[in-house]
Structure formats: C-alpha cells, structure tokens
Amino acid sequence: MSYNILVCDDEKDIVLAIEIYLKAESYEVFKAYNGLEALKILEEEQIHLVIMDLMMPGMDGISTILKIREQKNIPIIILSAKSEITDKIIGLNVGADDYIVKPFNAIELVARVNSVLRRFTTLGSAEIDKDVYSIGRVTINDSSKEVLVDNVSVSLTPYEYKILLLLIRNKSKVFSSDEIYKEVWEEEAHDVKKVISVHISHLRDKIEINPRKPDLIKSVYGMGYKIEEK
C-alpha cells in the first residue's frame, strides 16, 4: 500500500528536502506552508501521516494539531528546533505521536516516519490496511469515517455510511433489504424494502456518476443489492 504524507512547514526549503527524502522511499507527498493549507489538504486528500512544524505564522502547529485531532486519528510527527523544547512537549500533549529535532538528517527522518506508520498500522487504533476499503472511485476510511469519491470528500448520513461500508466490505455479495436492515439498524426487519430503497437512492446520488445508471451499487432483481466494479 502506498502511504500519503502531508508535510507542513513555512520554510519551503525544508519542505522540499523532506519531499525528496520521502519520495525516495516511495511515499506520496503533499505540501503545505501553513496550518490552514494543511487543513484544506486533509479535507481533500486521504492522508496517512502528517509532519508538522510548530512555529509558523498565522495558524501555528499546535493550533493545527488540535484542529486535526477534532476529526482525525492519523499519526502526526512534529518538527521542532532544539530551542523549542516547551513547544515540543505541548505538541506531544495535544496529540502528536513523535517529534524530529531540526536540523535532522534523511536517515533519521525516514526511520521516524517508518516507525510511526508501522506502530500505527499494526498496533494503533486506525489499522490503515484493515480499515481502508476501496472500489473504483470510492474509498472509505473507517477509522476517520471519511468517504472519498474521486479523492473528494463526500458527506453521508450515518445510515448511508453504514450501508456503503457493509456493501464495500463484501464486494459482489448480494444483500436483501431485510439483511441490510438487520446489519445496519441492528434490529429485526419488517416490510423495509421502501426504507432501504430510499437510502440506496440517496447513496447513489452521492457516489454514482449517473445515479439512474449506477455502475457501483447494483440492484439484483428480486434479490437485493450489491456493490461491484464494472
């Protein structure tokens, strides 16, 4: 799996250097130069790890980390100069996972990134490999409860989300309306075809290119629904 890493620092030379180091390790790199830019990228892209400078004009690293932690549980590595020990401690207290002291070398940087991602994916709560499901242009990150369609975040209701997650976890398997209801609402189903039909219709409006001719969520006549690629 290819991991996407967001690097945020107001010093463009540092961002460029980090990008070179990480791309050499086959990581995808997204660049931001202040906290607001970083938050915008996090809304638009599926990011697996953030490298965040603390001292930046505008929205600083601490404020940005607090904002990220309101919605996401992805690992964050803070960058700090040796003179910023207090800020480094605050950064860890507000939710960062590790830190790198400037100036750093390429070997240390890559080692820290590899270590944090390894801990996070094998021991952490997100388990990226297990909790990210993709089919066609749709990706669900069940840790952050984020749904991306063509790399753009879409907003689903809780029931729409649970239906999509059920189908995408079980690609090509047909679920009847009753089975979907039991799984999603966690109660016995009684005459629920219309309820499920309405939710499927709304879901198609949000993820299909042409909701009237869906290419992902398919109706199986007399049986139910399934999700599959063409």
> What mean pLDDT is predicted for residues 191-213?
90
- Best CA proximity match to 35, nearest among 71, 10, 7, 60: 60
* Separation of alpha carbons 230 and 216, rounded Å: 7
- 31-68: pLDDT as tens digits: 999 999 999 999 999 899 999 998 888 888 889 999 99
DSSP 175: B
- Tokens in use for 154? 């879409």
pLDDT score, position 60 = 85
Q: Please state which of the four CATH numbers 3.40.50.150, 1.10.10.10, 3.40.309.10, 1.10.3720.10 is assigned to the domain occupying 131-227.
A: 1.10.10.10
- 103-148: pLDDT as tens digits: 888 888 898 898 888 767 654 444 344 578 888 889 998 888 889 9
Work out whether the CA dihedral 126, 104, 32, 80 comes out positive or negative.
Answer: positive
> What mean pLDDT is predicted for residues 87-92?
72
pLDDT score, position 217 = 95
Report whether 43 contacts 32 (CB < 8 A). Answer: no
Report whether 42 contacts 64 (CB < 8 A). Answer: no
- Number of neighbouring beta carbons within 10 Å of residue 139: 17
The answer to pTM > 0.75 is no
Q: pLDDT-derived band of residue 225, with 50, 70 and 90 as boundaries?
A: very high
* Separation of alpha carbons 60 and 210, rounded Å: 42
* Separation of alpha carbons 157 and 206, rounded Å: 11
* Separation of alpha carbons 46 and 203, rounded Å: 21
- 1-40: pLDDT as tens digits: 679 999 999 999 999 999 999 999 999 999 999 999 999 9
The structural domains of the chain, with segments of one domain joined by +, span: 4-126, 131-227
Architecture of domain 4-126: 3-Layer(aba) Sandwich (3.40)
pLDDT score, position 50 = 95
pLDDT score, position 85 = 65
The answer on pLDDT for 204 being more than 60 is yes
- 143-189: pLDDT as tens digits: 888 899 988 888 887 788 989 999 999 999 999 999 999 988 877 87
**CB burial of residue 46 (10 Å; 0-12, 13-18, 19+):** buried
